[in-house]
């Protein structure tokens, strides 16, 4: 197809650079500088998609982010992206685009059957179906789901890269139209650090779409010169193709720069998009305005467009969306569009104006050109299924509520509508700024800013070029001044935007009467919401703004109602007989336009970068020896080491048995370690543990339990006294940062008289636990330290050299076996591990993982804080009364443990469970029920916290927090599972070597 | 995201901080406090619309605690002061709703 609707000159496209692309498989050509939308229009493509609910044929309506209809599936394969707007897609060679929401094709669409049965799916359909009866929804859902949906997400991983940048500036100017350019120039001239961002490829905003002149030049040329000036200012950063999408607290704004989206795949370098996180001292919002459609019968036909958009296509792209247009307006601005369209080769068949006596400079200009003006009239119908062919016009009655008299038909292939302009207040409103209703403009405008921001130009409702330039200069200077930069406010450049610039003389026209029943008057094109739907919502009392929005789904599409919201509010106000401000408006929420997940993720994607991965010094060895890893916090820990042909259970059983029969070693490096020093270090430790540490001697260690001040268990671990005023506290792997924060909070905020200092040494020291009857014999081969029970009793530690490496040897055990823990500087840990493995060969030394560690400790009834406790568990609930000191003074949790609630007998208490079937391992988290067969909800009395198969006991073992459990030893309880009920006997939570002889042996 | 002026490091992004909730809570003497008083200390917190005195921790910075007086409505921070300092007087109107 040739570009039959392209003018031979004019516009900002480069006719010397042809660009090939496809739309729905059709090969087409456009020019460099085109958007996909302008290229489609130049090629005469009018039908670009189907509507969401009724699958009605739809064409391009707008020329920017407001576009509701022209949603495009862009690109193929892993690069495909749904719901992109044709109006914002920069055309490049080889671009592949598909229309959406239409199967088998945009021309014939089975979903259009919905259109014929539209009475069956009115507003609120989803809600009503969902409410009655529940089973019906399940039935309908799959049909609704398959028929609905806007485009398809790629199924492959995203091959593109993204990045983020955090920056600050003195003044952020949002929007690069005349107001924004003037603001940036004024602020930049003071030497302030300025960022100017605009969503388009080229700066100039409305200047690109107009024939305005500034300082004797074409407006777009002036914009280019300003950008050149700004580029020469060292503190100014100019960002094109960058949409500021959200405005948060304390002048924090987020912008997305589309770095590569305008280039063919082969020509892309670096990240596809860049997320800018901007902290600005001052903000100037020059975000412009978006034109409002008129809500008239059949206004969704392809070829019904916003008047300003048509002006943009003609002036900027030299593309004609039609050859013969009818203009329908309630204000003067559409006359400017009509005149420009006329100059661009589009015949204006008539201007239908709802105002009885339109008169203004632009109206006169149109009249002088011989354009017919049909005053006091409205369009009452549009014919043409896949493209407009004719409109029907009638006269409004005196009160404007109906039409009267004969209908007149006018042939046309294009309708240019204007219902006025809505300032783009999205960011302003997100910032917390309050809006006020301006009755003259019939729209919301900024009233009271909440942050350090100013508004300039059309966003203020100041629609003339002169006002935009003046407000921009003023706002830019003032913003720079408030940011601490002095400078003279530059003179406002002389400009000429023709007669009547910025004058609307608007007459509000919301629900346009047509004298017919059943004619669809669309208000939200993307979500197929009509004026009748608003009436239905009102009848059913969904008339408050938030109810109405959700009931009708107005503004809930990907366009966020940029063209529909104010019309919807005004129609609802009319139905309720109140003014629009009384209806109010819904909250403007981020983001202004959709943001790809990739841009938000930046480089923080994939298993390595989403969250930091922590590895111990022996990690590589583990990997080489069959380690099957699990995540513990951010750490990777071996769960078990799989030998060839082994199942996980077989490996765990083997490791558990090895620890009880010979010797096994565990990489315990991930345990938290805090070095505590200072004259009051002991006092600090004594206050945070429930048991007494005052008697701890240098060279000794003690297990301690930590509670929050409410008496609930928080963490546990062994603390060793390293010197007179120096201690090494160990914590759980996951609890390490919390414990450090906890100590520092009390030291800094409450116990400011204590002199103690805490340092995390978790990654400084690596740790290896050596467990089993042969552990002493093995370790003795590698160290000169006397390891005998007499010289090195249980719960002591000594400095020592192990395999030639200086470190610390601890006589402690979490396995309940004779055991040692050796700590050496992390960089020596692998050497030590290897030395132990070599020396231990004769004992069949076995590395064991976290699961074997869990089984070993559960056999002994040792708890894991955070697994057998949940923040509502006291030491008493755990049966650990012995660890709560009765003698020492105040400590955290002491008073809390005396509250009546923490002393109740029927609290959930830790017990052991032995299943009737010794091979049945209850899933952890399973609930215990006193009557598992009663009606739902089945009553519960506790849950299983730990559960394993114990090869040493030859059966399953479990622990549970059970209501009143301590007094119920010997009872049998029921654990309902998905397909059966398991019965288990309550025991004390110790299953092996209850006397602890092995531990001390 | 708030911009918080750490008394030691200067203005930093909120992501570097942890909010410790209401400030100036006095821990009663555990030896004499009634169960009701202790329960109040443990569990009862103010939830004002407007001015809130709270404490913050520069967790990913200098690791120091300090106080802030902040509006829970506008998020404006009226004062930053030491962890051992009393709450400054703030004009209630200034801290009101927006
Ligand atoms: Zn700091």
> Is the pLDDT at A569 greater than 90, yes or no?
yes
- Domain boundary (A443, A472, A496) is at A496
Exposed, middle or buried: residue A57 (CB in 10 Å: 0-12, 13-18, 19+)?
A: buried
Residue B92 lies in a domain: no
| Residue A259 to residue A270: CA distance in whole angstroms | 8
Residue A686 lies in a domain: yes
Question: CB A252 to CB B38 under 8 A?
Answer: no
CA of B9 to the centre of ligand 1 (A): 4
CA of A404 to the centre of ligand 1 (A): 73
Best CA proximity match to A425, nearest among A413, A436, A412 = A436
**Among partner residues A279, A745, A894, which is closest to B65 by beta-carbon distance?**
A745
**Among partner residues A279, A744, A895, which is closest to B3 by beta-carbon distance?**
A279
Please list every residue in chain B whose beta carbon sits closer than 8 Å to the beta carbon of residue A433: none
Alpha helices in A711-848 (DSSP H): 736-745, 775-780, 829-839
Strand partners, A982: A975
pLDDT for the residue numbered B97: 45
Residue from A252, A749, A903 whose CB has the most chain B CBs within 10 Å, to mutate: A749
Q: Based on the fold, state whether residues A818 and A706 are members of the same structural domain.
A: no
CA of B82 to the centre of ligand 1 (A): 12
Domain CATH number, residue A650: 3.30.1360.120
* ipTM tops the 0.90 cut: yes
Q: Based on the fold, state whether residues A688 and A738 are members of the same structural domain.
A: yes
Question: CB B38 to CB A450 under 8 A?
Answer: no
Helix-then-strand count for chain A, H and E: 26, 50
CA of A991 to the centre of ligand 1 (A): 50
**Among partner residues B27, B38, B75, which is closest to A250 by beta-carbon distance?**
B75
Q: What percent of chain A has pLDDT over 90?
A: 87
Q: Which stretch of DSSP H or E encloses residue A113?
A: helix A113-116
**Among partner residues A250, A434, A745, which is closest to B3 by beta-carbon distance?**
A250
**Among partner residues A432, A748, A900, which is closest to B65 by beta-carbon distance?**
A748
Q: Based on the fold, state whether residues A490 and A539 are members of the same structural domain.
A: no
Q: How many Cβ pairs within 8 Å bridge chains A and B? A: 54
Is the CB of residue A249 less than 8 Å away from at least one CB of chain B?
A: yes
Tally of domains in chain B: 1
Q: Based on the fold, state whether residues A9 and A116 are members of the same structural domain.
A: yes
CA of B68 to the centre of ligand 1 (A): 13
pLDDT, one tens digit per residue, over A257-283 is: 999 999 999 999 999 999 999 999 999
Domain CATH number, residue B67: 3.30.2270.10
> Is the pLDDT at A106 greater than 80, yes or no?
no
Helix-then-strand count for chain B, H and E: 1, 6
Tell me: cis bond preceding A619? Omega within 30 of 0 counts.
no
Tally of domains in chain A: 7
pLDDT for the residue numbered A55: 82
Residue A769 lies in a domain: yes
Residue from A250, A281, A884 whose CB has the most chain B CBs within 10 Å, to mutate: A250
Cα A928 versus chain centre, distance: 38
Nearest-Cα distance to chain A for B90, in Å, is: 19
| First vs last C-alpha separation in chain B | 18
Nearest-Cα distance to chain B for A433, in Å, is: 9
This prediction has a pTM of 0.91
Strand partners, A627: A641
Please list every residue in chain A whose beta carbon sits closer than 8 Å to the beta carbon of residue B35: 899-900
CA of A485 to the centre of ligand 1 (A): 28
Residue B37 lies in a domain: yes
Question: CB A250 to CB B1 under 8 A?
Answer: yes
Nearby residues of A709 by Cβ (< 8 Å), 6 or more positions away = A892, A893, A895, A896, B27, B42
Q: Domain limits at A232?
A: 162-289+423-496
CA of B8 to the centre of ligand 1 (A): 5
Residue B49 lies in a domain: yes
pLDDT, one tens digit per residue, over A880-901 is: 999 999 999 999 999 999 999 9
Q: Based on the fold, state whether residues A413 and A428 are members of the same structural domain.
A: no
Length of chain B, please? Answer: 98
Is there a contact between A894 and A902 (Cβ–Cβ < 8 Å)?
Answer: no
Those of residues 379-418 in A touching chain B at CB distance below 8 A are none
Residue A594 lies in a domain: no
Confidence of residue A449 (pLDDT cuts 50, 70, 90): very high
Q: Is residue A447 classed as helix, strand or coil in its secondary structure?
A: strand
- Domain boundary (A123, A157, A191) is at A157
Residue B70 lies in a domain: yes
Nearby residues of A459 by Cβ (< 8 Å), 6 or more positions away = A175, A179, A285, A286, A287, A288, A289, A423, A424, A425, A428, A446
CA of B11 to the centre of ligand 1 (A): 9
Is there a contact between A576 and A135 (Cβ–Cβ < 8 Å)?
Answer: no
Domain CATH number, residue A532: 1.10.10.1100
**Among partner residues A166, A432, A900, which is closest to B74 by beta-carbon distance?**
A432
Mean pLDDT, residues A548-568 taken together: 90
Nearest-Cα distance to chain B for A459, in Å, is: 21
Q: Based on the fold, state whether residues A680 and A663 are members of the same structural domain.
A: no
Nearby residues of A606 by Cβ (< 8 Å), 6 or more positions away = none
**Nearest C-alpha in B relative to A280:** B3
**Nearest C-alpha in B relative to A246:** B1
pLDDT for the residue numbered A296: 98
Q: In what order do the strands lie in the sheet with A14-23?
A: A26-32, A14-23, A95-99, A71-74, A81-85
| First vs last C-alpha separation in chain A | 92
Question: CB B42 to CB A252 under 8 A?
Answer: no
Q: Is residue A340 classed as helix, strand or coil in its secondary structure?
A: helix
Q: Based on the fold, state whether residues A58 and A139 are members of the same structural domain.
A: yes
Q: Based on the fold, state whether residues A781 and A661 are members of the same structural domain.
A: yes
Please list every residue in chain B whose beta carbon sits closer than 8 Å to the beta carbon of residue A279: 3, 13
**Among partner residues B43, B63, B74, which is closest to A450 by beta-carbon distance?**
B74
| Residue A698 to residue A694: CA distance in whole angstroms | 11
Is the CB of residue A590 less than 8 Å away from at least one CB of chain B?
A: no
pLDDT, one tens digit per residue, over A661-703 is: 999 999 999 999 999 999 999 999 999 999 999 999 999 999 9
> Does residue A844 come out as left (phi exceeding 0), alpha (psi in the -120 to 50 range) or beta?
left
- What is the biggest distance separating any 2 CA atoms in chain B, rounded to whole angstroms? 44
| Residue A706 to residue A702: CA distance in whole angstroms | 13
pLDDT for the residue numbered B98: 41
Please list every residue in chain B whose beta carbon sits closer than 8 Å to the beta carbon of residue A752: 83-84
Is the CB of residue A158 less than 8 Å away from at least one CB of chain B?
A: no
Alpha helices in A352-444 (DSSP H): 361-368, 426-430
DSSP A37: H
Backbone angles phi, psi at A266, to 5 degrees: -70, -15
Q: Based on the fold, state whether residues A226 and A256 are members of the same structural domain.
A: yes
Burial letters A710-721, b for 16+ CB under 10 A, else e: bbbbbbbbbbbb
Question: CB A741 to CB B18 under 8 A?
Answer: yes
Q: Domain limits at B48?
A: 3-82
Nearest-Cα distance to chain A for B61, in Å, is: 13
Residue A830 lies in a domain: yes
Residue A29 lies in a domain: yes
Mean pLDDT, residues A48-64 taken together: 90
| Residue A262 to residue A259: CA distance in whole angstroms | 8
**Among partner residues B2, B33, B83, which is closest to A748 by beta-carbon distance?**
B83
Question: CB B83 to CB A749 under 8 A?
Answer: yes
pLDDT, one tens digit per residue, over A340-376 is: 999 999 999 999 999 999 999 999 999 999 999 999 9
Backbone angles phi, psi at A566, to 5 degrees: -65, -40
Question: CB B31 to CB A890 under 8 A?
Answer: yes
Residues (pLDDT < 70) of chain B are 92-98
Residue B96 lies in a domain: no
Tokens at A340, concatenated: 């420009």
Nearest-Cα distance to chain B for A434, in Å, is: 9
pLDDT, one tens digit per residue, over A576-635 is: 999 999 999 888 999 999 999 999 999 988 777 888 899 999 999 999 999 999 999 999
pLDDT, one tens digit per residue, over A189-216 is: 999 999 999 999 999 999 999 999 999 9
Residue whose tokens read 């916290």: A945
Mean pLDDT, residues A301-320 taken together: 98
Residue B90 lies in a domain: no
Q: Based on the fold, state whether residues A559 and A665 are members of the same structural domain.
A: no
| Residue A385 to residue A650: CA distance in whole angstroms | 70
**Nearest C-alpha in B relative to A433:** B98
**Among partner residues B3, B39, B83, which is closest to A899 by beta-carbon distance?**
B39
Q: Based on the fold, state whether residues A175 and A240 are members of the same structural domain.
A: yes
Residue B61 lies in a domain: yes
Tokens at A713, concatenated: 């268990």
Alpha helices in A330-381 (DSSP H): 333-343, 361-368
Tell me: cis bond preceding A11? Omega within 30 of 0 counts.
no
CA of B17 to the centre of ligand 1 (A): 9
Please list every residue in chain A whose beta carbon sits closer than 8 Å to the beta carbon of residue B13: 166, 279
Is the CB of residue A834 less than 8 Å away from at least one CB of chain B?
A: no
Q: Based on the fold, state whether residues A121 and A8 are members of the same structural domain.
A: yes
> Is the pLDDT at A927 greater than 90, yes or no?
yes
Tell me: cis bond preceding A937? Omega within 30 of 0 counts.
yes
Residue from B11, B21, B38 whose CB has the most chain A CBs within 10 Å, to mutate: B38
């Amino acid at each position: 197809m040739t570009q039959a609707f392209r003018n031979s000159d004019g516009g900002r496209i480069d006719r010397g650079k042809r660009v090939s692309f496809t739309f729905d498989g059709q090969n087409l050509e456009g020019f460099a500088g085109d958007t996909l939308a302008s290229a489609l229009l130049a090629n005469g493509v009018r039908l670009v998609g189907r509507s969401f609910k009724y699958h009605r044929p739809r064409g391009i309506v707008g020329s920017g982010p407001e576009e509701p209809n022209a949603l495009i599936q862009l690109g193929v394969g892993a690069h495909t992206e749904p719901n992109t707007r044709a109006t914002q897609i920069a055309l490049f060679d080889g671009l592949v685009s598909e229309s959406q929401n239409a199967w088998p094709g945009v021309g014939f669409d089975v979903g259009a059957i919905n259109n014929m049965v539209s009475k069956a799916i009115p507003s609120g359909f989803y809600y009503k179906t969902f409410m009655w009866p529940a089973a019906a929804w399940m039935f309908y859902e799959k049909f609704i789901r398959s028929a609905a949906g806007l485009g398809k997400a790629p199924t492959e991983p995203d091959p593109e890269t993204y990045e983020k940048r955090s920056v600050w500036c003195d003044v952020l100017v949002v929007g690069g139209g005349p107001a924004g350019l003037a603001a940036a120039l004024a602020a930049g001239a003071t030497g302030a650090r300025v960022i100017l961002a605009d969503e388009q490829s080229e700066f100039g905003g409305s200047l690109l779409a107009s024939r305005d002149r500034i300082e004797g030049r074409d407006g777009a040329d002036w914009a280019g010169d300003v950008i050149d000036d700004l580029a020469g200012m060292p503190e100014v950063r100019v960002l094109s193709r960058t949409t500021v999408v959200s405005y948060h607290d304390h002048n924090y704004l987020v912008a997305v720069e589309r770095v590569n989206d305008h280039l063919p795949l082969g020509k892309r370098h670096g990240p596809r998009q860049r997320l800018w996180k901007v902290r600005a001292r001052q903000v100037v919002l020059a975000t412009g305005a978006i034109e409002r459609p008129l809500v008239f019968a059949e206004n969704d036909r392809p070829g019904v467009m916003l008047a300003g958009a048509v002006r943009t296509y003609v002036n900027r792209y030299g593309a004609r969306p039609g050859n013969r247009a009818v203009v329908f307006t309630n204000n003067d601005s559409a006359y400017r569009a009509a005149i420009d369209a006329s100059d661009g080769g589009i015949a204006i068949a008539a201007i239908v104006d709802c105002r009885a006596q339109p008169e203004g400079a632009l109206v006169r200009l149109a009249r002088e050109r011989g354009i017919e003006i049909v005053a006091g009239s409205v369009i009452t119908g549009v014919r043409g299924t896949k493209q407009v062919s004719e409109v029907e016009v009638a006269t409004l009655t005196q009160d404007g509520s109906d039409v009267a008299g004969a209908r007149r038909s006018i042939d046309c292939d294009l309708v240019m509508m204007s219902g006025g302009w809505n300032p783009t207040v999205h960011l302003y409103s997100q910032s917390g700024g309050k809006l006020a209703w301006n009755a003259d403009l019939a729209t919301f405008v900024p009233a009271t800013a909440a942050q350090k921001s100013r508004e300039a130009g059309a966003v203020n409702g100041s629609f003339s070029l002169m006002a935009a330039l003046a407000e921009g200069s003023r706002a830019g200077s003032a913003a720079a001044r408030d940011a601490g930069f002095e400078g003279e406010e530059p003179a406002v450049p002389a400009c000429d935007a023709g007669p009547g610039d910025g004058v609307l003389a608007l007459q509000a026209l919301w629900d346009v009467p047509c004298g017919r029943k059943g004619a669809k008057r669309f208000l939200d094109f993307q979500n197929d919401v009509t004026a009748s739907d608003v009436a239905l919502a009102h009848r059913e009392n969904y008339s408050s703004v938030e109810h109405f929005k959700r009931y009708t789904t107005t503004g809930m599409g990907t366009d966020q109602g940029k063209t529909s919201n104010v019309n919807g509010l005004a129609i609802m106000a009319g139905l309720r007989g109140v003014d629009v401000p009384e209806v109010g408006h819904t909250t403007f929420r981020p983001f202004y336009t959709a943001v790809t997940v990739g841009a938000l993720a930046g480089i923080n994607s994939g298993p390595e970068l989403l969250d930091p991965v922590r590895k111990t010094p022996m990690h590589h060895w583990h990997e080489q020896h069959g380690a099957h890893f699990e995540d513990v916090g951010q750490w990777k820990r071996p769960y078990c080491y799989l030998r060839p042909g082994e199942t996980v259970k077989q490996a765990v059983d083997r490791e558990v048995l090895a620890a009880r029969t010979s010797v096994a070693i565990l990489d315990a490096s991930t345990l938290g370690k805090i070095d505590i020093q200072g004259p009051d270090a002991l006092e600090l430790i004594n206050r945070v543990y429930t048991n007494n540490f005052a008697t701890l001697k240098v060279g000794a260690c003690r297990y301690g339990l930590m509670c929050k001040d409410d008496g609930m268990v928080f963490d546990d671990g062994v603390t060793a006294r390293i010197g007179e005023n120096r201690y090494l506290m160990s914590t759980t792997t996951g609890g390490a940062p919390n414990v450090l924060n906890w100590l520092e909070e009390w030291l800094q905020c409450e116990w400011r008289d204590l002199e103690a200092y805490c340092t995390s040494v978790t990654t400084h020291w690596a740790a290896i636990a050596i467990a089993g009857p042969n552990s002493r014999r093995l370790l003795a081969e590698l160290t000169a330290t006397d390891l005998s029970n007499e010289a090195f009793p249980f719960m002591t530690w000594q400095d020592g050299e192990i395999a030639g490496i200086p470190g610390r040897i601890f006589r402690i055990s979490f396995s309940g076996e004779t055991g040692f823990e050796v700590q050496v500087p992390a960089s020596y840990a692998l050497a030590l591990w290897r030395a132990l493995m070599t020396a231990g060969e004769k004992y069949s030394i076995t590395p064991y993982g976290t699961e074997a560690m869990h089984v070993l400790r559960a056999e002994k009834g040792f708890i894991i804080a955070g697994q057998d406790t949940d923040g509502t568990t006291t030491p008493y609930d755990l049966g650990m009364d012995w660890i709560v000191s009765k003698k020492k003074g105040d400590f955290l949790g002491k008073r809390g443990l005396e509250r009546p609630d923490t002393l109740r007998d029927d609290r959930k208490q830790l017990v052991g469970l032995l299943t009737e079937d010794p091979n049945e391992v209850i899933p952890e988290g399973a609930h215990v029920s006193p009557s598992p067969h009663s009606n739902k909800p089945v009553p519960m009395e506790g849950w299983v916290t730990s559960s394993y198969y114990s090869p040493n006991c030859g059966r399953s073992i479990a622990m549970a927090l059970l209501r009143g459990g301590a007094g119920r030893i010997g009872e049998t309880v029921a654990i309902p599972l998905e397909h059966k009920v398991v019965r288990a006997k309550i025991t004390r939570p110790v299953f092996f070597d209850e006397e602890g002889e092995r531990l001390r042996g | 995201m708030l911009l918080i002026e750490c008394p030691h490091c200067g203005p930093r992004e909120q992501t570097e901080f942890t909010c410790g909730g209401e400030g100036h809570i006095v821990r009663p003497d555990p030896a004499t406090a009634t169960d009701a008083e202790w329960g109040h200390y443990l569990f009862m917190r103010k939830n004002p619309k407007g001015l809130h005195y709270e404490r913050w921790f520069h967790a990913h910075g200098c690791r120091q605690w300090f106080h802030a007086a902040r509006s829970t409505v506008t998020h404006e921070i009226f004062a930053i002061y030491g962890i051992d300092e009393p709450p400054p007087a703030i004009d209630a109107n200034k801290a009101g709703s927006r």
